[in-house]
Amino acid sequence: MSSSPATLTDRHRNRIGGIGDKNTKQLLWRVVSKYDGSNQQNMRQRFAGNDGHARIPDRQRSFSSDICDAAAQTYLITRLTFTLLGYLGVGYRWITKVVALGCYAMLLLPGFLQVAYYYFFSNQVKRDIIYGDQPRNRLDLYIPADIDEPKPVLIFVTGGAWIIGYKAWGALLGLQLAERDIIVACIDYRNFPQGTISDMVEDASQGISFVCNHIADYGGDPNRIYLMGQSAGAHISACALLEHAIREARKGGSISWSVSQIKAYMGLSGGYNISNLVDHFHRRGLYRSIFLSIMEGEQSLPRFSPEVKIMDPCIKDAIPLLPQIILYHGTTDYSIPPDASKEFADALQKVGARTELVLYDGKTHTDLFLHDPMRGGKDDLFDHIVSVIHSNDKEALAKDAMAPPRRRLVPEFLLKLAHWVSPF
Which of the residues are catalytic? 231, 333, 365
Distance CA 359, CA 342 (A): 9
In 21-174, which ranges are E strands? Answer: 125-130, 138-142, 151-157
**Beta strands 262-268 and 324-330: pairing type?**
parallel
- Do 387 and 401 form a contact (C-beta atoms < 8 A)? no
Handedness of CA 97, 98, 102, 105 (dihedral sign): positive
**Beta strands 151-157 and 220-230: pairing type?**
parallel
Q: Which amino acid is at 10?
A: D
Distance CA 152, CA 222 (A): 8
Distance CA 34, CA 194 (A): 10
How deeply is 74 buried, as exposed, middle or buried, from its count of CB atoms within 10 A (0-12, 13-18, 19+)?
A: exposed
Going by the DSSP 8-state scheme, the letter that residue 351 receives in this structure is T
**Sheet of strand 183-187, all strands in order from the earlier edge strand to the far edge:** 125-130, 138-142, 183-187, 151-157, 220-230, 262-268, 324-330, 355-360
Bridge-partner residues for 299, per DSSP? none
**Beta strands 324-330 and 355-360: pairing type?**
parallel
What is the number of residues in the chain?
Answer: 424
- Do 352 and 315 form a contact (C-beta atoms < 8 A)? no
Phi-psi region of 80 (alpha: psi -120 to 50; beta: other; left: phi over 0): alpha
Distance CA 85, CA 376 (A): 38
Distance CA 69, CA 127 (A): 12
- Do 188 and 160 form a contact (C-beta atoms < 8 A)? no
Q: At 326, which helix (H) or strand (E)?
A: strand 324-330
